[in-house]
Structure 1
Amino acid sequence: MMLDDFMTRAVLAGIGTGLAAAPAGCFVVWRRMAYFGDATAHAAILGVALSLALSLPVFAGALGVALAMAVTVTLLTGRGQAGDTLLGVMAHSALAFGLVGVSFLTDVRIDVMAYLFGDILAVSRGDLAVIWGGAALVLGLVGWRWSALLTATLSPDLARAAGIDPRQEQMILTLVLAVVVAVAIKVVGALLITALLIVPAAAARPFARTPEAMAGLAAVLAMGSAWAGLRASYALDTPAGPTIVCVLALCFAVASAVSGASRRA
């Protein structure tokens, strides 16, 4: 069957992850939340350690801890600590505790590098179901709250005047980011998830006239880069996750050059 081909599963996993990450990444770029995404992604390693220790699905552990981290940071920001300081402390602390926790799992064989940098070539049918189910959940949540999320991103005061609670929209976006992190950890790993979130959106931004166009173009770039990165990884015998991010970085460089040249013309 087609899904018995590991490269087919890898391509489908990359496309599904890119589809989930692109709309969430647009809000990360608009709200300047890159470090927030980083903290959530790093916390996923602690979730992996807990899920393995408790014999739970890795997706459940990564999602639970990433969501807990995101909610905690959201609630604590502005209460005596600068936002970037709090994010830095919590991100690296969670990553360190996760790596230490994994070292205690002597009865479980685990490749830490696979969770740090991804192991898309080892994606199973079950992983595909989780990735595409997560992508459907992300797209459903973002589509349902699109207008409210945009309004709250543009101006919290305008959102309140329109009867929208900005903190509620922040929590919904937090849930979306946690799902993306849990979905993407198998594909690009905890250390590269933020790149998958922000680089396609940043590359699409100069060419989009509307928020919807930016999200759509970011999705195309993310999915295309996943496919091209896997092809390049196979041809060059390089790590798949980092190679996908390298392709994304090249897309951003080209987009920046084209955008700069058109502004000078």
Structure 2
Amino acid sequence: MTQPNKKKSISEIKELLKTITDEKDERLALIAQDERLGVQKALVSWKKARQKIKEAEEERDRMLVYEKALWEREFHYVAGIDEVGRGPLAGPVVTASVVLPPDVSLVGIRDSKKLSVSKREKLYEEIMDAAVSVGIGVVDAAQIDELNILQATKAAMKKSIEQLTVQPDYLLVDALELPLPIPQTSIIKGDATSLSIAAASIIAKVTRDRMMTEYDELYPGYGFSKNAGYGTQEHLNGLKNQGPSPIHRYSFSPVTQYKK
């Protein structure tokens, strides 16, 4: 082992730390011998960052319990399925089906509602890149009025499965059972306990939010880009002043009272 190279600047050591991922890397011991305050602060920051990564990896592994058990039983394509948009007064219900590979290394995936917009967008891209396949299903407001929201959600889930490029041999579904001839498990709060379902919740959420932002340009006055169709005061004021738009759910209260 060489002696510590104290000729390295603090900025150089910070850059070096960015390349180290193993806590047993011998370079850490050398850096620890450097008594400069800036170096010691950088080392503490590195250790905190590594701890966060370790915790994220542990959370990922905890959320793969269902998937790992199924992979061990030789179910190769396990699809996690979730929905977004059952409660809004306007816009579609959007669902996603996500098949992850057994060697998935993604971290930070969790219930989409617990993530910031920027984090969801980042994870959306990572999931799309890492997944074996992703399918998206959309059922619009008119179909929701025709079917009811529960049946519309199931129809959207079936659409998302049909969009997969692989045939899933097992389904992990958030809180619902689907009338399909595919083995499945319904998991209450699945987006908190299954990585595949949580990944699906992120895909569905980002997809729907992007749609609602586009609808806000087509139908201004309701604040769709900010409230995603939920009944905020701005949205209710828009309903009162303008009446419903073509993407409103006429079977939902209070939209019904403004129906012409």
Q: Same fold (TM over 0.5)?
A: no
TM-score interval, normalised by the smaller of the two chains: under 0.3
TM-score when scaled to structure 1? 0.26
Where is the helix percentage greater, Structure 1 or Structure 2? Answer: 1
Where is the strand percentage greater, Structure 1 or Structure 2? Answer: 2
* Pair member with larger Rg: 2
